[in-house]
Amino acid sequence: MNLNQNENTEFANPPITREALPDYQDAIFESVASGFRRYTLVSTLIFLLPLILAAAGLWAVPFIPLAHWKILAVAGTLLVPLALVGVYRWIDAGYRGWALRRHDIIARAGVFWRSITALPVARIQHVETTHGPLERAHGLARLKLYTAGGLTADLVLIGLDRDTADRLREHLVEQIRRRDAESDSTSDE
Amino acid sequence: MQSSWKALPVSAIGALYINGIQRFVRENLIAFFGAGTGFAVSDSLGWREFGLGAGLVLLAGLLIAMIYHRRFRYRVDEDSVRVRKGLFEQQELKVRFQRVQNVGFSQPIYLRPLGLIRVTLETPGAAQTEVSLPGIASGEATALRDLISGATGRRTESEASTEACDDEPANAEPTAAFTASAADLFKYGMTSNQIWILLAIFGAPASSWIESRVSSWIEQLGTSGLLDMEMLRGASLMLALFVGLLIVSVALLLMAVSGLLAIVRFSGYRLVRETDRFKSRFGLLDVREKSLKLSKLHGIQTVQTVVGRMLGQWHAIGHQTGAVQLEQAMNNERRFLIPGIDEDRLESVVDTLRGRAWDVPAWQGIHRRFRSMLWGRVSLALILAALLVWLLLPGHVAWPPLAILGLNLLLLGSIHLHWRRWGYALDGERMRIRSGLIGQKIVEFDLARCQQVAINTSPYQRRHKLASLAIRLPHGEQTIPYLPQPVAVEIVNLLLYRAENSPQHTL
């Protein structure tokens, strides 16, 4: 709303000092849902399980002519990186977060290589929430935000709880709807 | 305007046919290569089968073109164009004039005698929703364009200027803001990166052909007794020279081919500025006319390639909204390209595009840790490699590790150049970013057009209070590495402020 009042007084263009600019660092970040850590653990285990079973099977079946250390080596080279990815995701879940301001939505992620991404609400074209079966079991959902021109989602917030994701979606959809209605009425003049 | 469903003229079937075959060949190029090798390898399949297959494809193509033509209907209403098409399932598209950002004309050589023009209505958004009329009479095409530019002009311009716009085709050609001569275009072709694409396409087959010819030639010489093999082996320096000469001449040949292609493609290039848009017209075999609305222009990119720097050549690209897709990156149809700008005229062309004079900005460089970090890592890797080579090679030969160290020095130099080239300039509303190594690329965009900003930090950057920026613009992503963190934060805040306060909500 505020945005469009500015639009009508477009020619008033007061200079903005650097200090007066709203700082994105002041945004209050919400961490991801509490179930997200468990979700990363479970999904990593589900990935690992077939490998572990296969290794155990090879170990147990007597007539397979493979030395035990070979099975261990092969399983280890596959399992260790996957387990590390799991650990990474576990730690990442602690840092991951999002913040909603009036005019943009900000997401942060990463453990070693950290990124903070800000997407102005005015640029969002379309919003959707999705949840896979495993996410559903943990009461989680992800929010996908699309901007003009792109074919893939421009910003995906993972690890939100279902309720938050739905409310965020409704809020953003409402903002987009209001914005479009206003820009339509101004362009028809 | 007439508001009934109309079919394309019957003569457009030919155009549809040729167009369809072209597309079929282009999309299935790999399959064709496969089939070609299949034919070459197998004995049972000969030219007859090949001809039969090709004939079938051509016949099917004709049938498809006829059905497509039969089912294609378009309708021009007061404020929109509607198109119905589809071979098996019917598809109906409707484009409101207000949404059209660009009316593209294209007249390939086979349409010229028929007096037909292919019209493409470009809209922001995905490429597959674009509406194109594959061949309508040229009078109708210009009428449609004027109707659309009138409709969109009314929204942005006053009535008077709209009328001026309508009268325009009847008037004599307005003075061009930029024209490119054949020499300019030839130079553009030589400098453009197209040469690498040519190299990739023709390089491998050509090199294998040359190799086989050279080896058979050497064998011939050997058996004919004019030259004994011993002598040839001794002349390894000569051979190296010969190979070097061959590479240089192939490169020159490719550059010449690329230059000629550019002439064919952009022949007679004219850039005209009208009240609310730029228009360019060019082409020898396929005459195209593109337009770019000023209100849709959100980024200007000027590029000087390495070869371009030697020849004093630039080219400019006007960026407009559109999906960034692989397909587009490859055929560049949507880019508004101004080729073959020499150094003297660069300023005037850029001024025209910007609508105001190009002031040389005070470029802000990036942090010097960008250079020292890269220097450190590259040197470490290469010195280790040199040591390993020295240790592992039998006899501890000196020259391979020395060559690696020489390469290292070369890389250090180019890292320095690359670091020095990085620069940005902010003037409150617009941002300019310069990058490159020997050549350079300068992108200028409105801060308000930014779609997304990301601040990325590695552990090294966090230790030294640095950050990299990734700015998503409607035409793609633009990065600035290694800024001091407070500066990066300030730029992000400014970008967000401008984007969120801009009257254009979406693009």
B379-423 tens-digit pLDDT = 999 999 999 998 888 888 888 889 999 999 999 999 999 999 999
- Quote the CA–CA distance of B398 and B356 in Å, as a whole number: 59
pLDDT for res B159: 37
- Greater pLDDT, A164 or A54: A164
Is this structure's pTM higher than 0.95? Answer: no
Confidence of residue B321 (pLDDT cuts 50, 70, 90): low
Amino acid B57 reads V
Least confident stretch, B48-57, B91-100, B178-187, B321-330: B321-330
Q: Are strands B336-342 and B313-320 parallel, antiparallel or unpaired?
A: antiparallel
DSSP B171-227: SPPPPPSEE--HHHHHHHHHHSTHHHHHHHHHHHHHHHHHHHHHHHHHHHHHHHTSS
Structural domain spans, chain B: 6-170, 180-278+296-355, 369-420
Answer yes or no: do A63 and A106 share one domain: no
Confirm whether A16 is domain-assigned.
Answer: no
Answer yes or no: do A109 and A169 share one domain: yes
Most confident of A15-24, A153-162, B270-279, B404-413: B404-413
Q: Are strands B466-473 and B476-484 parallel, antiparallel or unpaired?
A: antiparallel
Q: Phi then psi for B245, rounded to 5 degrees?
A: -60, -40
A78-135 tens-digit pLDDT = 888 888 999 999 999 989 999 998 888 999 999 999 999 999 988 888 888 999 999 9
Helix axes B29-41, B12-27, angle to 10 degrees: 70
Answer yes or no: do A52 and A109 share one domain: no
Contact criterion met (CB < 8 Å) for B496 and A104: yes
Contact criterion met (CB < 8 Å) for B493 and A120: no
Answer yes or no: do A115 and A159 share one domain: yes
Residue with tokens 């690696």: B404
Contact criterion met (CB < 8 Å) for B492 and A148: no
Confirm whether A17 is domain-assigned.
Answer: no
Q: Does B323 touch chain A if contact means CB atoms closer than 8 Å? A: yes
Least confident stretch, B89-98, B118-127, B421-430, B483-492: B118-127
Contact criterion met (CB < 8 Å) for A22 and B493: yes
Residue with tokens 């509406």: B131
Answer yes or no: do A80 and A157 share one domain: no
Confirm whether A20 is domain-assigned.
Answer: no
A124-139 tens-digit pLDDT = 888 889 999 999 999 9
DSSP, collapsed to helix, strand or coil, labels residue A78 as: helix
Distance between alpha carbon B315 and the CA centroid of its chain, in Å? Answer: 11
Show which of A72, A92, A112 is a domain's final residue: A92
Diameter of chain B by CA atoms? 87
Answer yes or no: do A84 and A132 share one domain: no
Find chain A residues with C-beta within 8 A of B96's C-beta. none
Confirm whether A102 is domain-assigned.
Answer: yes
Residues 6+ apart with CB under 8 A from A171: A100
Confidence of residue A7 (pLDDT cuts 50, 70, 90): very low
How many angstroms separate the CA of residue A106 from the nearest CA in chain B? 9
Contact criterion met (CB < 8 Å) for A121 and B500: yes
Amino acid A99 reads A
Answer yes or no: do A78 and A133 share one domain: no
How many angstroms separate the CA of residue B494 from the nearest CA in chain A? 7
Of the candidates B325, B453, B474, the beta carbon closest to that of A148 is on: B474
**A–B CB contacts, 8 A cutoff, strictly below:** 103
DSSP A27-42: SPPEEPPTHHHHHHHH
DSSP B216-264: HHHHHHHHHTSS-HHHHHH-HHHHHHHHHHHHHHHHHHHHHHHHHHHHH
Confirm whether A19 is domain-assigned.
Answer: no
Which has the closest alpha carbon to A84: A124, A128, A47?
A: A47
Confirm whether A49 is domain-assigned.
Answer: yes
Percent of chain A past pLDDT 90, that is, above it, reads 33
Show which of A48, A65, A92 is a domain's final residue: A92
B185-228 tens-digit pLDDT = 888 888 877 667 667 666 666 667 777 777 777 777 666 665 55
Answer yes or no: do A81 and A153 share one domain: no
E strand or H helix at B59: helix B47-71
Amino acid A173 reads V
Least confident stretch, B26-40, B51-65, B78-92, B287-301: B26-40
Confirm whether A18 is domain-assigned.
Answer: no
ipTM over 0.85: no
The residue range of the domain holding A144 is 2-11+27-32+98-188
Q: Phi then psi for A66, rounded to 5 degrees?
A: -125, 130
Answer yes or no: do A114 and A168 share one domain: yes
**The domain that contains A170 carries what CATH number?**
2.30.29
A window 128-157, beta carbon within 8 A of B: 147-151, 154-155
Residue with tokens 């961490």: A31
Residue in B closest to A23 by C-alpha:
B493
Find chain B residues with C-beta within 8 A of A114's C-beta. 456-457, 462
Answer yes or no: do A87 and A103 share one domain: no
DSSP B362-412: -PBPPPTHHHHHHHHHHHHHHHHHHHHHHHHSTT--SHHHHHHHHHHHHHH
Contact (CB, 8 A) for B126 and B323: yes
Show which of A92, A108, A126 is a domain's final residue: A92
Residue B325 clears pLDDT 50, i.e. is over it:
no
Contact criterion met (CB < 8 Å) for B451 and A18: no
Total structural domains within chain A? 2
Which has the closest alpha carbon to A164: A146, A142, A147?
A: A142
Q: Phi then psi for A107, rounded to 5 degrees?
A: -130, 145
